[in-house]
Amino acid sequence: MILGFMERNLSSSLLGTLLLLSLAWFLHLVRKLLPPSNFPRNIPTVPIYVSFLGLFTNMDQKEIFENYLRDHLEMYGAVKIYFASRWNILVTKPELLVEIFRDEETFAKSGNQIKIPYSVLSEYTGDNLISAHGSTWKLYRQILTTVIQFPDLNPVVGNSRKFVRSIAHAAQSGSSMLVTDVIQKFALSNIGDSMLGIDFRLFENDHSVLNEKLKFVKSHIFKPMYLNFPFLDKFPIPSRIEARQAVRSFRKYYSGLIRSLPENVSNVAGSLTKALNDGVFTEQQFTDNAMIVMIAGHENPQLLLTSLIYVLSLYQDIQQKLRDELTSVDYDEQVLDQLPYLNSIIYETLRMFPPLGQIINRITTKPVKLGDFVIPKGVYVGYNNFATGRDRTVWEDADSFSPDRWGIEIAQVNRSYSKAKGSARLPAFHGRKRACLGEKFALHEMKQVLNQLLKSFRVIPDPEWENKLTPGGPVSPWKLKVKFEAL
């Protein structure tokens, strides 16, 4: 009898404990639905379900932005938003961005290696020049600044020709073409030839190991589900185990390639290898930085070129006007920098389709006043290039693609561009100390390839292609297909 009494007592206290635990778990989940209570109250909250829309609906980034973010951002300049398994503050008003970019100590870089170290994404990119902070960042800059800013530009012309030649086949058949692969080949070849001093032979070999491995890795990395909820990478989900293995295999293969290159050459590969051999970089730092040069160096130009081809196909009059400008001058590489319309089109595309649409990789190191907001310590603060570039309170006629807004003469066009960057109305390449080191190279690539492309082909929209941007992550037309008509 006593035993029965004890058993009953035990099972009821076990039940009670279970109930309490479930309640605590439930409350924890409910708390997660809302931003932490110390977040500024005068910033509107984007409901958490908005973070799921790219996963479970057919909406693209633009539709989500229009319906759930735009009005708030234009009115307040910031929102509280759930992304990458946490609540963040996303800032878009230029005057606030200037403050953030200026104060690198308070808004300290804190990349995926710190924010979500367990994720497949973090294993892919590691601790690198873009995400590092303080003395580590300074060390990386010491080794890499010059070789990234002053690469060998010559191979880009040759790769532009190869790009155009590889389009010719689709153009002859009259069928539409998915542009992803050929643009990836172009952008990767440029990084290989110009910065690393290695010819990946991507145009010659359709099944290059590098290209195939990278395509596979990217198909896993940019899944909106895991970008939004990276904590899922903690669980033994078979497709994520496969993704992690693919990342490891890619890193091993790629870093082996870079290590096999000579050390005493003045380029990114040479500098990295020297830093490794001199004991300045660890193996991990060597691979992480080799990876980021390859990733940032090809991924962002790839996205921008996709968007450029998209806008040129959409606006035939702009395409023809650009072709007229390109054919009106005797071609030499420097001349392209002097063409106002060519440069304006690229700047306008950066405004409306910034490749890195949203970046949340800064954490406040102390409580800080940003405009009217008081942000506590330890909060992730990000910026949204897509929203700033389309802010109707910042840009007149923000929704229309109008290259002429940048000016008519080249000096005026470049002045408008510099001003827009300096005032953070165009943060597509960020600004100040942590501004992009590859900007000039990327712009050079765009000018060279557009010059070759438009002199050979007319780019026509494919009516069957569903006009959509990516559902989340980097900004670009989603799986863009166009037709190329030989001239």
What element of type H or E holds 121?
helix 120-125
Residue 214 touching ligand HEM (CB under 6 A):
no
Region binding ligand HEM by CB under 6 A among candidate stretches 296-304, 367-375, 395-403, 405-413: 296-304
Q: Residue 243 interacts with ligand HEM (CB under 6 A)?
A: no
**Residue 232: what residue type?**
L
Q: Give yes or no for residue 484 binding ligand HEM (CB under 6 A).
A: no
> Does 184 contact ligand HEM by CB under 6 A?
no
Using rule CB under 6 A, residue 441 touches ligand HEM: yes
Which residue in 381, 382, 315, 383 sits closest to 348, CA to CA?
A: 315
Question: For the purposes of burial, counting CB atoms within 10 Å of the CB of 32, is it exposed (0-12), middle (13-18) or buried (19 or more)?
Answer: middle
Does 437 engage in binding with ligand HEM (CB under 6 A)? yes
Judged by beta carbon, residue 45 or residue 146, the one nearer ligand HEM is: 146
Question: First-to-last CA distance in the chain?
Answer: 97
Q: Which stretch binds ligand HEM (CB under 6 A): 40-48, 222-230, 331-339, 424-432?
A: 424-432
User: Least distance from C-beta 487 to ligand HEM, angstroms?
Assistant: 27
Amino acid code (one letter) for 342: L
Report residue 374 CA to chain centroid gap. Answer: 28
Q: Taking the CB of residue 4, how many other CB atoms lie within 10 A of it?
A: 8
Part in contact with ligand HEM (CB under 6 A); list of ranges 40-48, 66-74, 240-248, 289-297: 289-297
Helices 340-352 and 410-422, packing angle to 10 deg = 20
Query: How are beta strands 358-364 and 373-375 bridged, if at all?
Result: unpaired
What is the CB-side half-sphere exposure of residue 48 using CA atoms within 13 A? 13
Nearer to ligand HEM, 73 or 294 (CB): 294
Radius of gyration (C-alpha) of the chain in whole angstroms: 24
Query: Looking at 229-237, 244-252, 355-363, 452-460, which segment touches ligand HEM (CB under 6 A)?
Result: 355-363
Phi, psi torsion values for 363, nearest 5 degrees = -125, 140
Angle 280-285-287 from CA coordinates, rounded to 5°:
125
CB of 299 to ligand HEM, least distance (A): 8
Alpha helical stretches, state H, 174-237: 180-190, 209-221, 224-228
Q: Which parts of 131-160 interact with ligand HEM (CB under 6 A)?
A: 141, 148
Q: How many residues line the site for ligand HEM (CB under 6 A)?
A: 23
Q: Does 304 bind ligand HEM (CB under 6 A)?
A: yes
One residue of 177, 290, 293, 345 binding ligand HEM per CB under 6 A: 293
For ligand HEM, the nearest residue by Cβ is 438
Give whichever of 313 and 385 is closer to ligand HEM, judged by the CB atom.
385
| Interface residues toward ligand HEM, by CB under 6 A | 129-130, 141, 148, 293, 296-297, 300-301, 304, 355-356, 359, 361, 428-430, 434, 436-438, 441-442
